[in-house]
Structure 1
C-alpha cells in the first residue's frame, strides 16, 4: 500500500469516527440541514422573481397590444384603451394591434403590427428602423411622453407589488433560516465536542501510568483542549460552509438549467475546478498544519513545565536558556504559520474573485452583447437572473475555499485526538470487591521497565496487620515493588498474591479501591482541606473526614486557619506548609480505610514534633492493616515487623530491626552512618561504593 493510499484509508476511518460522533446530535444536525435547504430555496427564488419582473412586467410592454372597449386592466392612449395580448380573457374581443418599441432610452408607439422587434433600432423623422442582419423594417412611430409611457406600465404595477412582497417574504424566510441554521449547527457542534472531550478525558483516566512517563503533561493538555477545539471548528465553520455550499451550489445549478440549459452547461466548469483545488491545497496544507499543531503542543508543554519549575529556573538562573528554548519553538511555529498564510493568500478568495470575474466577462460578452443588440439569444431577464445566480454561486465557493485551512487544521487535530484515544487503556470493570484482608506475598518476582531487570527474584510475605519497611539506596527497587503492588506495571516473572489470589486476576480498579498511599511530596487539589481528604467520594462522610484529620493530629496544626477544615486550598496547596500538606495527605489515606497502606517516605518533610504525632496515630491505625513503608530515615522504621534491605533489585537482608542490627551487615552499616557512629574505614568505603554503584545502575525506583 502506497503512502497516499494509507493517508486516504486513515482519513476515511477518521471520517467514519467523526460521523459517529456527529450522530450523537443527529436530530439537531438534521434540523439545521432542513433549515438550510429551506433558506437556500427562499434565497434562490429571488433571481426568478427578478426575472419575472423584468421579462413579464418591465420589458413585457413590447409585446403586442390590442384595442379594447373595457377600461379594466387596460392602458389609455389618446382616448383609446389598449390591452396586452396575454391579458385578454377567453372570448374577449380584440381590436387593432399596436406595438411599443424601445430605441435608445425612449419608447415609441407604432399604430400597426410589427413583424420583428429583435435587432438594432433607430428613430429619425417619425420613422423607426429595425435592422436584423441584411433585413431592415421601417414603421411610422410616435415618441411617448413619460406620462403616456406610465399609462402602459400602470396595469403592471399591482403584479410588480406582489412580486416585491413575495421577494420580501423570501428574504424574511432566508433570514430566519440563517439564524436557525447557525444556532442549531453551533448547538450540535458544542454537543459533539462535549462528548468527544469527555471521551478523551475519560480515556486519559484509563491510560497506564507508563504512558505519562513518555508524554509531557502540556502535550496531553493541548490534545484535550486545543485539538478538540479545532475539531469543533470542523462541525461549526467547516460543516456549515461546506454543507450550505453544497446545497447552495446544487440549488444554483438546478436554477441555471431551469433558466437556460446552455448557461447551465457552461457553468459546470466550477465543479472539477473546486475538486482539484481542494486536493492540491490539502497536499501542502496538511504538511504545514501537522507541524503547527505539534509545535503548539510543545509550546504548551514548555509553558507548563516552566510554571511548575519556576522556582528551580530562578534559583539556577535558567531564565535566559528557558526563554531561548521557548523562542526557538515559537519562531518555528510562526514560520509554518507564515507558510500557511502564503498558501491561503494564493489559493483562497482572491483566486475565486478572479475566476468569478472571468466567468462574468465570458458570459456577458457572448450572451449579453447578443441580447442587447437584439440578437435575442437569451432575454434580458434570463441574463440578469443568470448573472445574479452566478454571483450567488461563487459566494458559497468563496466560503468553502476560505474554510479549507480550517478543514485541514480540524482533520490534523482530529487525527491527533484519535491517536491519543487509540492508545491502549486499562480495562474498566464495573462493580467492586469486598475489602480484602491484606495478606501480600511476592513469589520469585522479576521485573524490568525496559530491558534490564530492576527487580530480581523478589520473594517475601506480609501478613495482615504487619508493617513492612523497604530500605536501600536510590535505584535499589523500593518504589518498583510498590508500582507492582498497585499494578501500575505487571512483572515479567513470578507471582504477586493478595489473600492467596494473584493480583493479575483482580481488576485494577477493584484492587486499588482498598489501597491507600502517602507520598513524600503530597499533591493537593484546588478545593478545601475537607474536599482534599474525601476527594469528593460520597461514601466518606463529613464526620469521617474530621475524624481522620483528628487522628493524624491535623486539628492542632490547622486550628488557626480562619475557616478550619473548610479553608480554601489553591493548586498543589501552595498556601500551606509542607507539614500541613503532608498531614492532609495522610488523613486522606486514612479516610479511605485501606486494607493496604503505603507510606513513601511520608514523614521526611515533617518536623520532629509533627512526626511524633503521626507515629502515635499510626500505632492505632495500623492494626488490621498491612502497611508498607519506604524509608531513608531508618529511625522511623525501628518498630516495623519486617525490614527488607534491597540492593540492585535484590533482597540482600530481611528481618526485624534488632535481627538486622545483630547481623551486622548492610543495614547495620547504614544505620550506624545515619546515627553518627563511625564504622571502620573499610566499612565506610564499602558502603559508599555500594551507594555509588547503585546510583550508576540507575533506572526507575
Structure 2
C-alpha cells in the first residue's frame, strides 16, 4: 500500500478540528476586509472631500448643510445639486500654488497652473488655456471646506469602528487557530506515544531511547510551530493578499494584473528554497536526535563515566555532534540571510518602479493627471501587500523544518505495530510446551536450536547456562516479544501465535534482574495504577515478599515517593517491590529473570520463603546464575549455544557430573576436574 504524502497527512490531522479552523478563517476574512477598507476610505476623503472643492460648483436657490454663501448666492458642488433648484450660474475653484481662485467656467483639461494678476494659465503638453480668476480669502476657503467636515468625521468614525471590529476578529482568529494547532499536536503526540507502546521489541533493539524521545518531543514541537505560526501566517497572508488584489482590481485592473506576477514569483521562490534548505534541515534534525540520544545515554551511564574517568572523552564526543549541528545551522542561516530579506526588497522596488512608470505615463497621456487619492490608495495597498509577502518568505525556514520533522514523525507512525486486542481470556492453567523451537534474531544465526520441553501447572522450571546460551531468548519467545521462526509453543494446548499478545501476557508476570520502577509511590509501582488491584492486594503482595519490614520504616510507608528508576531505594528494596508487582497481578505463569542476582543473602532468603508460598498453582520459570536458588526446581534445563544439553532435577544433574556439575563446583569454590 502506497504511503500518503506528508502534506496530505498533515492536512488530515488539521481536518480533525476543521470546524475551529474554518471559524478562525471566517473571522480572519472579516478582519482583513475591515482592515483593507482603510485605503478606500482615505481615497474617498482625499478625492471627494479634501480635494473635492476643486469640483464644479453650481448656484442653487435653497440653503442646506452642503451649501456655501458666496458672491450673493448659495453654491453647492454639482454632484449634490438638485436640478430643480439650480439657477444656471456655475463656477470652479482652482488651486495654484498655495492659493485658491474662483473661475467662472469649468476647466476643459488639467495641467500645470500659473497665475499672474487675475489671469490663470493652464498648460498640458502643447495645449494652453487662460481664464479670469478671483482669489479667495482664508475665511472663504474655510467656508468652502466646511460642508466636507461632517462627511470626513463620519468616514473616520466608520473606519475606527471597522478597526475595532478587525481587532476583535483578529484576536478570535489567533486564539482559535492556536487552539486548533495545540489540539492537533496533542492528538499527534498521543498517537505517537500510543504507537510506541504497540511497536514490537525489535524496533527498540537498535535505536537509542533518546532518538525516539526526540521524535515525540522535538519533532512534534516543530510541527506545532507549523500549525501555530507557519500555516497561520500562510492563511493570513493568503487572505490578506487576496483582499489586496481585489482592492487593486477595483482601483485599476491593468496595474492589478501586473502586480499579480508576484504570486508565481513567490511560488517559484518557495520551490527553490525548499530544494536547497531541505538538505540542511534533514541534517539538523538528525543531529538534534543524535544529541538527545547521547544526553540520555550519558545521564543513564553517569556512574560509569565518573568511575572510568570518561568525562573528557564524553565531552569531546558531544562537542563533535554539537559542532556539526552548529555548522549546519549556520549554513541554513546563511541561506536565509541571502534570500528572504533580499527577495522582498527587490520585489518591493520593482513594484514601485512599475507604479511610477504606470501613473507617470497616465499623467502625460490623454487620461489626464491621476487623482492624488488614487495614487495614495495604490501606494498604501502595495505597502500592505509586501507585509504578507515578507511574512511568507520569513516562514519558509520554519516550514521546511516542520516538513522534515513531519517526515520523521510519520516514519515512526508507519512502523508496523502490534494489533491491540482488549478482549478477555480466561486465566489459563499454565501448562507450557515448547516443541522443536528454533529462533534467530537476525534471520541468519540461530540462537535457539530445536528446543523442546514441557512445564506443567505448578511446576518450577529453571534455565541455566553461560551468557548467550539462550535462556532469555526462551522467555522472550514465551512473552511473544518475538515470534518463533520454526516449531511451536503452546499454552494449555493453545498455539501461542494464535493468542493476541495482550491477552497472552495478561496472565503472565515477570521479575527482571534489574527491576524498573516508575516515578510515583511504592503502592503505585506495585499496582501500576490498575483499578482492578485494590490497596489490600498491594499491601498483601508486599507483605508476602517481606517488603513491609523496610516500608514501615519509611516516613510515608506505602505512599513513599519513588523517584525515576527508584534511585533512592537499594537494589534489594527495588527487587522486592518488583516481586510484589508480579504477585499482585496473580499471574498463571511467573518468570524470574535472574531476579535474585542483585540481592543480598538475607533478602534472598526472604524471597525464597515468599516464593515457596506464591509458586503454588503457578508455573514458574527461573533464569539463574546462582544455582543455590534453584535447588528445589522441578526441572532444570541446562543450555549451551542455544541447545538443551542437560535436563533433570538438582540432584540428578549433580550425579550426572556434566556441565551443571561443573557450574555447581565452580560456584562452591571447588576445583573442577576436566569436563566430561
TM-score range, shorter-chain basis?
Answer: over 0.9
2:197 is matched with 205
2:497 is matched with 504
Runs of 4+ residues over 3 Å off in structure 1: 368-375
Q: CA distance change for structure 1 residues 377 and 283 in 2, over 3 Å: closer, same or farther?
A: farther
Query: Is 1:632 aligned with 2:611?
Result: no
Q: Over residues 298-322 of structure 1, what are the superposed CA-to-partner deviations in whole Å (9 max), with x where a residue is unaligned?
A: 1000000000000101111111111
CA deviation after TM superposition for structure 1 residue 677, in Å: 2.0
Out of 95, 103, 107, the residue aligned to residue 100 of structure 2 is 107
Query: Is 1:534 aligned with 2:523?
Result: no
Q: Please, which runs of 5 or more residues in structure 2 have no aligned partner?
A: none
Query: Is 1:612 aligned with 2:605?
Result: yes
CA deviation after TM superposition for structure 1 residue 257, in Å: 0.8
Alignment partners' CA distance in 2, 1:633 and 1:233: 55
* Contact 2:58-2:89 within 8 A present in 1 as well: yes
Question: Match of 2:85, SS?
Answer: coil
Out of 650, 654, 662, the residue aligned to residue 655 of structure 2 is 662
Out of 542, 565, 569, the residue aligned to residue 572 of structure 1 is 565
CA deviation after TM superposition for structure 1 residue 117, in Å: 4.1
Query: Is 1:214 aligned with 2:206?
Result: yes
CA deviation after TM superposition for structure 1 residue 89, in Å: 2.3
Alignment partners' CA distance in 2, 1:56 and 1:381: 9
Question: Match of 1:489, SS?
Answer: coil
Q: Over residues 511-552 of structure 1, what are the superposed CA-to-partner deviations in whole Å (9 max), with x where a residue is unaligned?
A: 011111111110100000000000010000000000000000
Out of 288, 291, 316, the residue aligned to residue 283 of structure 2 is 291
Query: Is 1:358 aligned with 2:361?
Result: no
Alignment partners' CA distance in 2, 1:377 and 1:309: 80
Alignment partners' CA distance in 2, 1:608 and 1:587: 19
Query: Is 1:440 aligned with 2:432?
Result: yes
* Contact 2:111-2:369 within 8 A present in 1 as well: no
Question: Match of 1:192, SS?
Answer: helix
Q: Please, which runs of 5 or more residues in structure 1 have no aligned partner?
A: 1-8, 687-701
Out of 93, 108, 114, the residue aligned to residue 86 of structure 2 is 93
Counterpart mapping for 1:81-160 below 5 A? 81-110=74-103, 112-160=104-152
* Contact 2:43-2:377 within 8 A present in 1 as well: yes
Alignment partners' CA distance in 2, 1:660 and 1:14: 61
Question: Match of 1:96, SS?
Answer: strand
Q: Over residues 144-201 of structure 1, what are the superposed CA-to-partner deviations in whole Å (9 max), with x where a residue is unaligned?
A: 2332111111111111111101111111111111111100000000111111110000
Alignment partners' CA distance in 2, 1:569 and 1:371: 82
Q: Over residues 221-245 of structure 1, what are the superposed CA-to-partner deviations in whole Å (9 max), with x where a residue is unaligned?
A: 0100111111111111111111111
1:326 is matched with 318
Counterpart mapping for 1:274-353 below 5 A? 274-353=266-345
TM-score, with length taken from structure 2: 0.97
2:405 is matched with 413
Out of 551, 554, 557, the residue aligned to residue 547 of structure 2 is 554
CA deviation after TM superposition for structure 1 residue 78, in Å: 4.1
Counterpart mapping for 1:133-282 below 5 A? 133-282=125-274
CA deviation after TM superposition for structure 1 residue 676, in Å: 1.7
Question: Match of 1:116, SS?
Answer: coil
Question: Match of 1:363, SS?
Answer: helix
Out of 380, 389, 398, the residue aligned to residue 397 of structure 1 is 389
Out of 48, 62, 68, the residue aligned to residue 56 of structure 1 is 48
Query: Is 1:466 aligned with 2:459?
Result: yes
Q: Over residues 43-66 of structure 1, what are the superposed CA-to-partner deviations in whole Å (9 max), with x where a residue is unaligned?
A: 111111111111111112111111
* Contact 1:208-1:488 within 8 A present in 2 as well: yes
Query: Is 1:384 aligned with 2:376?
Result: yes
* Contact 2:55-2:92 within 8 A present in 1 as well: yes
CA deviation after TM superposition for structure 1 residue 364, in Å: 2.5
Question: Match of 2:402, SS?
Answer: helix
Query: Is 1:582 aligned with 2:575?
Result: yes
* Contact 2:177-2:232 within 8 A present in 1 as well: yes
Alignment partners' CA distance in 2, 1:168 and 1:221: 50
Report how many aligned residue pairs link the two structures: 673
Alignment partners' CA distance in 1, 2:191 and 2:118: 84
Q: Over residues 633-679 of structure 1, what are the superposed CA-to-partner deviations in whole Å (9 max), with x where a residue is unaligned?
A: 00110000000000000000000001111111111111011112222
